Amino acid sequence: MNIWSKRSIVRGPAALLASLVPVVLSVVAWAPAGQPAPAAQLALTSAMAAPKAYIALHDEGALAVVDTGANVVLGYIPVPLGAHGVAMTPDGSKVYVGSDQLSMVSVIDTATDAIVAQIEVGTSPHGLSLSPDGRQLVVSVQGEDEVVIIDTTTDRITGRVSIARPDRSAISPDGRIAYVGSTSPVDSALAIVDLTRPAQIGRVVMSHAPRALAFSPDGKRLYFTLDGSDALHVLDTGRNRVEASIPAGASPHGLVSAGTAYGELVLSQPRNELEILDPTRNAVSGTVVVGKSPRGIATSADERTAYVTNEGSGDVSVVDLVLRKVTATVSIDTLGGTPGEIVVQPRVIAPLLHSRTHLLRAGAPGRVL
């Protein structure tokens, strides 16, 4: 059910907020009738606030917004149904989210948490990835069997490349090459796309469909997981050959290439674990029990903290990677959606004066302040 149908929106005063923060924002609020509004969940953003995390709720038309300082849900941003792939610009100013039940990618300004553009890309946009410089967005459009390339300065499509059932992708540190998981059941592969042309310039045949992909910081290796393979695989991008396979528990799903002493991070869904892998020894160096059926993962700017979304328990596990333990759990299942992909701001984006924050807040009757 689309969350817009759950509560009508009405207008009200903003004077109360003026005494609380330097900048007054406006909020679209939603909650079940009769439930009070927790003060901690007011969607107030100021220059002193902590970075925010954005989580796709796939079964709902929404992104959950979490304050990573207080570890509370600020609210929900309405987006078209089927929120799936999520990507954030390196400066944290914009979030892109695909809606795989429709044909568009929505662009969200994180200073106002409002949709500022929608890009028609074709049926069922799935995986999204951004180049390290933030200038190019790669969208896997499964319903069209192609990858769409978007210029983020104009939010317009600049190229299309045919790839059978594209899913997740990863872009090289120099922004020139993308590896895209081609999940065709009869011809699974890692498709190699030159983003400067754009065109497919090669492919690496796989025994199973590729899942998550991530480059090493130097671009010399591509880490990836495969459907039906309980391992993290390592591709030498110079020769395009698999050089190692690291046992990684059952059904590894999310993946982050930390590029630090913490190692590579993968999720084991059946075991409800975050696994920390040491690529120098090709072995698991530690595990952390998280929530049920972990799905998405992102790290803080200093890479000390990992945020893991859990489909089965409808929450987010906050993991200290130094202590290797969960330090907080954030429930985000207010709307009944399934938490999936997650991105975290590298820094705070201060709002513009008199900007409007379009958040559906859990806890109070609908109100636009």
Q: What is the reported pLDDT for 248?
A: 81
Q: What is the reported pLDDT for 353?
A: 40
Q: Which amino acid is at 340?
A: G
CB 299 within 8 A of CB 285: no
Domain 80-206 sits in CATH at 2.130.10.10
CB atoms near residue 149 (< 10 Å) = 19
How much of the chain exceeds pLDDT 70, in percent?
79
pLDDT higher than 70, residue 361: no
Instruction: List the single range of 37-51, 86-100, 251-265 with lowest mean pLDDT.
Output: 37-51
Q: What is the pLDDT of residues 106-116, one digit of tens each?
A: 999 999 999 99
Residue-averaged pLDDT of the chain: 81
Strands 125-130, 136-141: pairing is: antiparallel
Please compute the mean of the pLDDT values over residues 140-144 and round it to a whole number.
96
Residue ranges of domains in the chain: 80-206
Instruction: List the single range of 21-30, 169-178, 353-362 with lowest mean pLDDT.
Output: 21-30
Q: What is the pLDDT of residues 296-318, one digit of tens each?
A: 999 999 889 999 999 999 999 99
**C-alpha to C-alpha distance for 134 and 5, rounded to whole angstroms:** 35
Q: What is the pLDDT of residues 225-276, one digit of tens each?
A: 999 888 889 999 999 999 999 888 777 778 887 665 677 888 888 889 999 9
pLDDT higher than 70, residue 341: yes
Instruction: Kindly compute the dihedral angle of the four CA atoms of residues 193, 260, 347, 330, in this order, to the nearest 10 degrees.
Output: 100
**C-alpha to C-alpha distance for 247 and 186, rounded to whole angstroms:** 25
